[in-house]
Chains A and B, each alone.
Chain A
Amino acid sequence: MSKEDIDKLYKEWKNNKFDKTAQRFGERKKEFKSDSNRTVKPLYSPLDIKDLDYTNKISFPGDYPFTRGVYPTMYRSKLWTMRQYAGFGNAKETNRRFRYLLEQGQTGLSVAFDLPTQIGYDSDYPLARGEVGKVGVAIDTLADMELLFDQIPLDEVSTSMTINSPASILLAMYKVVAEKQGVSSEKLAGTIQNDILKEYIARGTYIFPPEPSLRIITDIFDYCSKEMPRFNTISISGYHIREAGSDAIQELAFTIADGIEYVKAAVDIGMDVDEFAPRLSFFFNAQMDLFEEIAKFRAARRLWAEIMEERFKAQKAKSKMLRFHTQTAGSALTAQQPMNNIMRVTLQALSAVLGGTQSLHTNSYDEAMGLPTEDSVKIALRTQQLIAHETGAADTIDPLAGSYYIESRTDHLVKEARQYIEKIDELGGMAQAIETGYIQREIQENAYRLQKEIEKKDRVVVGVNEFIEEGEGKNNNLLKVDPTVEKEQIKELNNIKEKRDDKEVKDALTQIKKAAVNNNNLMYPIIKAVKAYATIGEISDALREEFGEYEAQYI
């Protein structure tokens, strides 16, 4: 059937059937909108994708622009990595949780650090009081990292570390722990988050101003390209942008724009794009709008491939492949009727799988109330195993391709994200756009819109504004971090400080400051300092002295 014929038939159907029936029975809503506030039509047809060229815009898995997936066989060869983010209390306790998760069939590790560690403070720093071991594991020195990975073979598991400003220090520690296990650096697989721009935008664990922060990041790119070729040097994260209240289009656009800024920074110091780009990785959110999310993951792959080719003239296919981790949306979890969260997580996880994710964290149902227990984490992991082994969702590649709706949404998301990126270019790039507060304002506007929609019931959240039950939301079975953790951690820290060679530490810290001033790669002196059991606070302070600290502007 020709396009003209379909067009004619579509119009007939729309006028004679749909409109008439809709007039007679009405529609459930005045307007149907996607999560990104875009109109959703009653029906999608071949007409919606008539200008979409299969070869250039969709293509085959493993082929540019990778819309259908980065690998030729996708989950038929290897399922995504099931990677639950975990960490609380001290290293010993977290090590126990890691080993429990591996026993349950988890295939990769993901470390949550406590806030003092993430902001480069030792556990005995005044601002760390009350925070030690709370949102993640407390790490002060190499000794903690040795305990954290005790009896975990680092040549067999891959480890993701959610660490940004002090990423260089934790990466150095990981390398040294592996060395002590007899595992050489080039065998190490994993990811450091290392994405500072989204910290300024959405997550808040920054230390240094943008310029030196970008420099530390490019030092890491350079170091890893030489010494740790299998390690992902960054995880460019839309996750937290979405959690802060953005919509799917903003998540996509701002993440890719962050990526552009990092590539620019590395190219500007003379690195060859094909040398570091294959190790860039991404991290997205899986929210509730099933189809828009699937389209978003597909659009992200196409957009990144196109940008790497157009802007940066990348040659290697690997430089253009957007590989990503997904986490289900924490902000979609409700404290009311918490068991409903299991279903939310299932659907979000399904969107990530249908979108071709490389690894996945599924949230536990009790996380709107506190830290998850072993039992709730197990259900979250089982959710992934169930999708992988029972649903058939992983058995054919990109099964929703060719859906008129999915393809049309994918194409629209690419186009709309491009408009945002153009605007960011006009502002002078992402670092500048953040500096002016533009990005933060856009996200805040949307966060407020979502809140108002919920309050007006334009957006139904089951158990929150509809189908409410009185007296629900109690859960007294939450994980509690042992209150003695802080004291014990500080005691251990003091022990290490007693035992180590102070002169060696002092020398190493001096070398870090020198490298900071002389623009030499910081990784080498940081590794030295780590080996001497210098603390995260000490190393961060050495850098603070040279780089200064970032101060956020509130708008």
Chain B
Amino acid sequence: MDNIIKVLIAKPGLDGHDRGAKVIARGLKEAGMEVVYTGLRQTPEQIVRSAIQEDVDVIGLSILSGAHSYLFPEIMNRLKKADRSDVVVIAGGIIPEDDHKKLKELGIKAIFQPGTPISKIVDFIENEVQK
């Protein structure tokens, strides 16, 4: 059981678009991962708390509202404070290319554009999480 990768799919902020989050959640499940979906309107604090409680290996952040520049640093800082920077954080949604560099410097491992095949995300996660 212990080698199953556990993922938290989270919707930070007030954004209500969760088609992508739900499709990814289902795709990762079918790839054999254990997936928890937070639902909408999660604060950075709630997301980090859920991630720690559920003891996940990966957090997938989905955002289309443009609020990532504020919310993602908050999440990364809280993870750091909780000494859980080992959790692999990835992101997807509508995140302009210009912002990618900054977000990656914060420790976000990958930012997936719309149109990314789920298999590519699965491969990425399996590579990052050595179990």
Contact = CB atoms under 8 A, between A and B. Distances in A.
In the A-B complex, list the 3 residue pairs whose CB atoms are closest, starting with the nearest.
A204-B16, A130-B70, A115-B14
Contacts of B40: 204, 552
A87 B122 CA distance: 36
Interface in B10-27: 13-19, 22-23, 26-27
Nearest to A134: B66
Contact of A451 (B16, B23, B41, B113): B23
A292 B47 CA distance: 41
Given A115-B13, A554-B39, A331 B19 contact: yes
Contact of B14 (A128, A244, A369, A473): A128
Interface of B: 13-19, 22-23, 26-27, 37, 39-41, 43, 65-71, 94, 96-98, 113-115, 117-119
B118 A369 contact: no
B41 A334 contact: no
A135 B66 contact: yes
Given A128-B14, A203-B16, A478-B98, A552 B39 contact: yes
A483 B37 CA distance: 30
A115 B114 contact: no
Interface residues of A, number: 46
Contact of A448 (B15, B26, B67): B26
Contacts of A116: 14
Given A115-B67, A333-B114, A444-B22, 9 more contacts: A131-B13, A199-B16, A245-B19, A335-B115, A336-B115, A475-B97, A478-B96, A478-B98, A483-B69
A554 B37 contact: yes
Contacts of B13: 115, 127, 130-131
B94 A115 contact: no
Interface string A305-337: 000000000000000000000000001011110
Nearest to B15: A115
Nearest to A553: B39
B115 A464 contact: yes
Contacts of A444: 22-23, 26
A55 to B, nearest CB: 41
A371 interface: yes
A483 B94 CA distance: 18
A475 B118 CA distance: 23
9 contacts: A116-B14, A119-B14, A128-B14, A129-B70, A131-B65, A243-B19, A444-B22, A475-B97, A483-B69
Interface string A385-420: 000000000000000000000000000000000000
Contacts of A115: 13-16, 65, 67
Contacts of A245: 19, 23
Contact of A455 (B43, B98, B118): B118
A422 to B, nearest CB: 26
A204 B113 contact: no
Contacts of A454: 117
A444 B21 CA distance: 11
A368 interface: yes
